[in-house]
Amino acid sequence: MIQFKRNRRLRVSPAMRHLVQENQVTPKDFIYPLFIEEGSQSRTPIGALPGQFRLTLDLLADEAKEIAALGIPAVLLFVKVPDELKDNQGKEALNPNGLMQRAIREIKSAAPELLVMTDVALDPYSIYGHDGIVEQGQVQNDATIEVLGQMGLSHAQAGADVLAPSDMMDGRIAKIRQSLETQGYSDTGIMSYSAKYASAYYGPFREALDSAPVDEKGIPKDKSTYQMDSANVKEALRETQMDIDEGADIVMVKPGMPYLDIVRSLATQIHTPIAVYQVSGEYAMLKAAAEKGWLNHDEVMLEQLLAFKRAGASMIATYHAKDASRLLG
């Protein structure tokens, strides 16, 4: 029998494969998370994130220039707050001269073309490691979003381009948008962590910021009263639609790889750009397997990053951003 259809014809050469390629990943897709700590001239390695460091402010200018030179358009900032500045109200989060606010100014003056995105949530500032104010063992939604509105404004005043609320309180996007609009920051964007799951993949990140959640007695707690249940899909659509209605410019799915189905569902149902966050535990898994010689690190990394694009993400927050950009050229 004559075969009229042969799919392999489109795979015969690199040139042909390039022409028919449906998706691409480039350095322009990446957001690079940066961890910042107090002190000087120090790069503290993060145990479960091999190759990632907490940098002191004085090293940020060079780091920002290096990231921009690699063609990466954005960084996402996280700060490690000294214990003595932590409380249950997030007071230090509003300090115009706090670590985050100084880091924003440092990076914007060193590499003005680099978009500075900032984590807006109380956990690094909280004695309980929670993303909100805790009363009688419960995370208080409405009191928390008041602080988040002011915190977002404070980042905008320091020069942040995009605020990234990662707290999962209800109504926070509207609060932050309102405080930006009324104070003249209408061009400051909001990238909302809208479908953020209560995930065990965040372990290495919490170690990096010393922000693992505990109750009043110091006993480990999870974040399942505000982050989403891994079992749910429709809830992700509800959360995301609500954030869009409240004024989010970009929405996010987090973690990444185990939630590609969520990225795909959103991509078919909404018309707002989607970011995906390949989180700390995903990065740690690949590093560990590669260290054992069980996986080819670079090939698997690029395959994973491409998978995010194929699923429908416009941008990827990933600890691999610098390494992948070097490989992609």
Active site residue 254: yes
Using CB under 6 A as the binding rule, whether residue 206 contacts ligand PBG is answered as yes
In the DSSP assignment, the letter for residue 46 is: P
CA 45 vs CA 36, 49, 209: distances in Å: 12, 8, 12
Binding-residue pattern over the window 94 to 123 for ligand PBG, x denoting contact by CB under 6 A = -------------------------x-x-x
CA 186 vs CA 128, 157, 271: distances in Å: 33, 12, 21
Shortest separation between residue 280's beta carbon and ligand PBG, angstroms: 3
CA 12 vs CA 15, 19, 204, 245: distances in Å: 8, 11, 43, 47
Using CB under 6 A as the binding rule, whether residue 52 contacts ligand PBG is answered as no
> Which of 196, 223, 309, 322 is labelled catalytic?
196
What is the C-alpha to C-alpha distance for residues 131 and 113, in angstroms, rounded to an integer?
Answer: 30
65 vs 146 by CB, closer to ligand PBG: 146
DSSP per residue, 243-255: HHHTT-SEEEEES
Known binding residues for Mg(2+): 239
> Which of 221, 254, 287, 309 is labelled catalytic?
254
Instruction: Determine how many CB atoms are found less than 10 A away from the CB of residue 43.
Output: 12
> Judging by DSSP bridges, how do beta strands 138-140 and 133-135 pair with one another?
antiparallel
- Kindly tell me which residue out of 163, 180, 252, 279 binds ligand PBG, with binding defined by CB under 6 A: 279
80 vs 223 by CB, closer to ligand PBG: 223
CA-closest candidate to residue 107, choices 68, 71, 72, 153: 68
Whether 148 contacts 132, CB under 8 Å: no
Binding-residue pattern over the window 156 to 185 for ligand PBG, x denoting contact by CB under 6 A = ----------xx------------------
Which amino acid type is present at position 122? L
Using CB under 6 A as the binding rule, whether residue 214 contacts ligand PBG is answered as no
Using CB under 6 A as the binding rule, whether residue 202 contacts ligand PBG is answered as yes
Which amino acid type is present at position 287? K
Find the length of the chain.
329
Using CB under 6 A as the binding rule, whether residue 239 contacts ligand PBG is answered as no
56 vs 199 by CB, closer to ligand PBG: 199
- Kindly tell me which residue out of 205, 228, 253, 301 binds ligand PBG, with binding defined by CB under 6 A: 205
* Interacting residues of 232 by C-beta distance below 8 A, sequence separation 6+: none
Catalytic machinery residues: 196, 254
The residues that touch ligand PBG, with contacts defined as CB under 6 A, are 119, 121, 123, 131, 166-167, 202, 205-206, 223, 279-280
